[in-house]
Amino acid sequence: MTDAPTERRAQIERHTSETEIRLTLTLDGSGATSIDTGLGFFDHMLTALTKHSRFDLELACSGDLHVDDHHTVEDCALALGQALDQALGERRGIRRFAHAYAPLDEALARVVVDLSGRPSPHVELGLARPRIGDVAAENLVHFFQSLAIAGRMALHVDVLKGTNDHHRAEAAFKALALALRDAVAPTEHKDVPSTKGLL
């Protein structure tokens, strides 16, 4: 008799003076989304991330957008990273390492991830415009950094080419989706994939 598979799922509620967030993440999903951050472009990026990772994500954020978009983007990234960390548990029986390339027309992005338990973000989006839609370009970089820190992963994001900033950013989110999909994938092994025995 074998144990029934455990659902890899997490719920996060984050309440601060700057944002209120409710988030549910399911790793073994179908790419279903219900996302409302109040930032149209950010919602678009998170939808792409969810669709191509095949994670299910429900995310509602009420943030201090009268100030700017920083706290909303940062806190959503922190909540998503925390949910990913919780859903992975001890990180037994996962691939752990993954990389992916994703093009979007003329743009090409590469993401390499290690679900190592050690946060280490390195992000080069190379965006030329100060804003894309309603999101500051610097906050898109900050999203990847905050996600890596809260998700306890080494994350390298490099946009290798592209002249359109929307394409560059979206290619990065899609490459992240593909890499995470592979990194969290179950293997035939049930151990923790580390010589330390702990991630």
9-183, CATH topology level = Ribosomal Protein S5; domain 2 (3.30.230)
At 8-47, the pLDDT tens digits run 999 999 999 999 999 999 999 999 999 999 999 999 999 9
Return the pLDDT at 184: 98
At 168-192, the pLDDT tens digits run 999 999 999 999 999 999 999 989 8
Q: Does residue 78 have a pLDDT over 80?
A: yes
Query: What number is the average pLDDT over the span 149-153?
Result: 98
Return the pLDDT at 81: 98
Q: Does residue 105 have a pLDDT over 50?
A: yes
Q: Does residue 75 have a pLDDT over 70?
A: yes
Tokens representing 149?
């820190």
Extents of the domains making up the chain: 9-183
Return the pLDDT at 2: 42
At 127-142, the pLDDT tens digits run 999 999 999 999 999 9
Q: Please, what is the average pLDDT of the chain?
A: 96
Query: What number is the average pLDDT over the span 64-76?
Result: 98
- This prediction has a pTM of 0.95
Query: What number is the average pLDDT over the span 109-118?
Result: 98
Return the pLDDT at 198: 83
More confident residue, 2 or 141: 141
pLDDT band per the 50, 70, 90 thresholds, residue 4? very low
Q: 67: buried, middle or exposed (CB in 10 Å: 19+, 13-18, 0-12)?
A: exposed
pLDDT band per the 50, 70, 90 thresholds, residue 5? low
**Which residues have CB under 8 Å from 35's CB, separation 6+?**
43, 46, 47, 50, 57, 58, 59
C-alpha pair distances (Å), 124 with each of 16, 59, 133, 156, 172: 29, 26, 20, 8, 10
Q: Does residue 193 have a pLDDT over 90?
A: no
Q: Does residue 1 have a pLDDT over 50?
A: no
Cβ atoms of 138 and 165 closer than 8 Å:
no
